[in-house]
Structure 1
């Protein structure tokens, strides 16, 4: 992918800037900072030149007034008003397209300063972009639901998309989604292709949310052009500037052909994820750099899919190079301004074992101070995460200076761990917390359990899609939950009576529907649904309290009401979550959203020796098909008779 080394050249014209390293040439409008052209391997422009200059490559954001509900607002394509050459030498050029906010701009643009930067380096097949966002304390409060970079590629050239090894395919054209060619489904993003340009796509559903991805797996994605034998890739080398931790899901690439670098979004978290900056609050954050990588087939190779492998190899190089040593902004912390932390996480569950167990594969991270688990919804600051090894050992390097909570969660165990002290990271520090112990919630031995505590509903029964609404990529795929319309299958499987699960007889992989959704009636309205868990108790410990643990993988405008041995004719549930969630993972094929754990006391008087029934009602139907929740795991514990336990 290399060529003879050529010095980086910067050409400044009246209305645009061209950066050229002899391999790639990038044209950026001045002072707006829109990428209007990317030239590579003799191809004049890989971006869609039929689009206006501002609609090819750009940073944008969604913002709203402080106190506004929801996750939408005003979409602003961030337009620079001043241009500056930050660095220019043979090795590297860095240019800035900035815009300042002042009170005369009230209500027209978000109340922040934005400095968009582009970097080109010698002998590097691509270019970098990052931005510094800043809000000064005296400025108005505001919400920032989303910010990202968007590239719109030539639709006549780029038709093969790759998000992961097992998530790549030839894609429909944008034309297939509009007019008589496409029919919008339950929401605008999902379109049934009825008369596509190419017959092979007929009857398929196109929906950008089918290609979303967890941050931990979202390091490279993009497009291959088979007739140009080249690839266009977004490489995101770090998660530190993205919101919501490793399990937060973001959009990737989708029909357009469009390639995104998402930084903050409310997807799969809803309004709770929206960044809210108060009046009087100073805030600054660096998003990126991210790397736009280009590659082409070497002469000895004829397989275009080798471009994906090469992009993955380049991603590893970028990840290992993080934090980059070349961004010029003092707001980007170089490695000598960062610190590290290491230790070992162990788990103690006295009911199962007196031994401390290694937290095999635990997710461990530093996030801004907050309540236990608040990192899931955090988007103002930086987060630094890793996965522990099989023995629970972990190390996190290159952490920006600041105060953090140390957080963790472990597959196989419910709840969230948070270290009792704040971690203060300083330049060059190397903190060893040695062995730390997570004691997951536990009052007594397990009577029964359903599912795997892994913050996902993926292990439950995911039905085959309606044959009318297929994405061929996900037929026979491990991510079978990414098909459109699976929520409608519940009504088909349970047209009159709701799900009944019998402990010791039923199998959660076959008998526990992945989402607790509403039932659609023949008149088009929706009704609440009540699931039953039937179980036998040989003996009830009198005058004691059993504990019901309900871990939810997501909730969307839902209310879970819990009753024991009392059906809905009884006056009230003895436990309710209240109205929770805007995760929208049911519609967006996400299989999880925000994790919630409820620990419910069950007085022994509510239980009987012999047959018992736990009733779980999802009581809200206001948004119809998408009111609902997904369970992660449910467990009933009996009281502990071992006096040494507590």
Structure 2
């Protein structure tokens, strides 16, 4: 029997049953929409169905099991938990033999579910009409905690912390608790870098025993998000987001779809044009098999951009751009990160979020191609991804008014990237916008990793290795770089100390000294802040470059020092290092 149907609808004979198998047998029935009233509708097919009210989608039935139970269910929101969309007046927007597109209306825009006769799940997309300036815009499921016990990201595949652990721990900051044994629980440990590089889509979700059974042979269920296209997601190559977690008040298993997110960024406000469409992406139910969902990812990727999807804003009007980037010293910009985004924007590539975005990497010879780009004019950016050629390049390549037209490739030819064109004396860490290579850096996301970093650290150029430098600094104390010079100061007396930070969280300040003389500072309140370090980030947040002149005569023949002396400290705050380099003017 179909459990969620009201008896009146059942007697009307609209639909008879929901099958109980994840592998459908033809001939299937068509997807359906049953309007209970203007504020409640039931949608589904022969294999699943959900009851959607004004705010929440509940009673998600799959194999005759409710996957929501006492949890909140499905909803769409912006500004965090402050503004949930009120979705009403469900209608069949478009129907073909292959799919049924069901639309729900809200003041802010239109949310669509696209169902097929056999798909366990649905494609979803949202068309903006009147969203305010947004930082976060998301869809999500809050599902039954006894069925969805595991969380899967690109970094973690493990049990979500039980609610009992959270209730028995001490809250120490935003959604972060400390157990009696000193270990931490935080939802941000389940953050990850988003799968938004061209041709590299991934998936994430929650899974576990279908009926909440603890038996070894229990039947499983999985709920997943798959984004075959990623141009509607904000940010650049280093975009990271929270995507699954345990809800700390109710214990719901949370599957987040942050289609416009800013959890690890300094700027969070974007004015989104009327008609921007997020999606379509696939929400997918299966038997919890990771192998199955991986195969589904490949299938979706091959179909992008989806032929079945039509809109009024040029979804299929796409072209490509290609070119070669060469540094001003003649070397190819090997493996440079290439970004196509807002035209004539003063925002960083990570902070851009109003329109559509494309990311790729150049090959070893500096060539790049970006395909399936919507028609329009774009701003092109390239920045260092580390490596032998680009490890010291701190400048950013910029080119505006890059145009794409449907069915055409815009060949840009050879593009010249002007570097800082200085002679390097020494460097700690590659410029790649990550803390890669430093002590304690790297996946997975983990709260409190910076607690491993010492207050004082001595680094000797020519003797110490990058792995001797800690990935973060926050404690009261000094990181000292010692280096020896020969006759060079007499030949080139002035220098620049470049300090590239992979992230910065306000609350920690430092003075920078060369041979005991202050040449600058990293000061809380003057550097744009983002919550990366205290939200479990271990590689990056948002990148900053600061350059500090060293006057002639300050450096001398023999032993010299550069010191980063922390004078103000706040627990869990501070910065992650990307690179430190001394160059001659």
Shorter-chain TM-score range: 0.7 to 0.9
Contact persistence 2:381–2:399 (CA under 8 A): no
Residue 159 of structure 2 corresponds to 170
The alignment covers a number of residue pairs equal to 535
Contact persistence 1:551–1:595 (CA under 8 A): yes
Deviations 1:468-516 (A, max 9, x none): xxxxxxxxxx626x333233334xx43xxx2222212222202x12111
C-alpha spacing 1:455/1:99, structure 2 compared with 1 (3 Å): same
Structure 1-normalised TM-score? 0.77
Give, in angstroms, the shift of residue 28 of structure 1. 2.2
C-alpha spacing 1:421/1:11, structure 2 compared with 1 (3 Å): closer
Contact persistence 2:36–2:42 (CA under 8 A): no
Secondary structure of 1:513's match? coil
Structure 1, gaps ≥5 residues long: 63-71, 101-112, 137-141, 195-201, 297-303, 464-477, 520-528, 640-646
Deviations 1:30-74 (A, max 9, x none): xx263223332x23322x2213xxx20011110xxxxxxxxx7x7
Which of 261, 265, 268 matches 1:269? 265
Deviations 1:396-427 (A, max 9, x none): 11212222111122322233543434112233
Secondary structure of 2:582's match? strand
Mapped pair 1:356 → 2:328:
no
Structure 2, gaps ≥5 residues long: 1-22, 210-217, 247-251
C-alpha spacing 1:319/1:193, structure 2 compared with 1 (3 Å): farther
Residue 318 of structure 2 corresponds to 338
- Listed as ranges, the matches of 1:133-532 within 5 Å are 133-135=128-130, 143-164=133-154, 167-178=156-167, 181-184=168-171, 186-193=172-179, 205-216=184-195, 219-226=202-209, 227-255=218-246, 256-270=252-266, 272=267, 274-277=268-271, 283-296=274-287, 307-331=289-313, 333-335=314-316, 337-348=317-328, 350=329, 355-360=330-335, 362-370=336-344, 374-412=348-386, 413=390, 414-444=393-423, 446-462=424-440, 479=443, 482-490=445-453, 493-494=454-455, 498-510=456-468, 512-519=469-476, 529-532=477-480
- Listed as ranges, the matches of 1:516-555 within 5 Å are 516-519=473-476, 529-539=477-487, 540-542=489-491, 544-555=493-504
Give, in angstroms, the shift of residue 431 of structure 1. 0.6
C-alpha spacing 1:376/1:370, structure 2 compared with 1 (3 Å): farther
Give, in angstroms, the shift of residue 368 of structure 1. 0.3
Which of 31, 42, 50 matches 2:70? 50
Distance across 1 between alignment mates of 2:473 and 2:120 = 48
Contact persistence 2:533–2:541 (CA under 8 A): no
Deviations 1:513-566 (A, max 9, x none): 2111133xxxxxxxxx43221111112135742222221111112555432112
Contact persistence 2:188–2:446 (CA under 8 A): no
Give, in angstroms, the shift of residue 579 of structure 1. 1.6
C-alpha spacing 1:338/1:610, structure 2 compared with 1 (3 Å): same
Secondary structure of 2:571's match? helix
Distance across 1 between alignment mates of 2:516 and 2:179 = 47
Distance across 2 between alignment mates of 1:76 and 1:284 = 20
Deviations 1:439-485 (A, max 9, x none): 432312x211101222111311118xxxxxxxxxxxxxx626x3332
C-alpha spacing 1:216/1:560, structure 2 compared with 1 (3 Å): farther
C-alpha spacing 1:43/1:620, structure 2 compared with 1 (3 Å): farther
Mapped pair 1:617 → 2:565:
yes
Deviations 1:321-356 (A, max 9, x none): 22223335424x332x122112233344x3xxxx52
Secondary structure of 2:294's match? helix
Give, in angstroms, the shift of residue 235 of structure 1. 1.0
Distance across 1 between alignment mates of 2:510 and 2:407 = 48
Contact persistence 1:268–1:594 (CA under 8 A): yes
Structure 2-normalised TM-score? 0.84
Which of 75, 78, 101 matches 1:61? 78
C-alpha spacing 1:275/1:410, structure 2 compared with 1 (3 Å): same
Contact persistence 2:31–2:116 (CA under 8 A): no
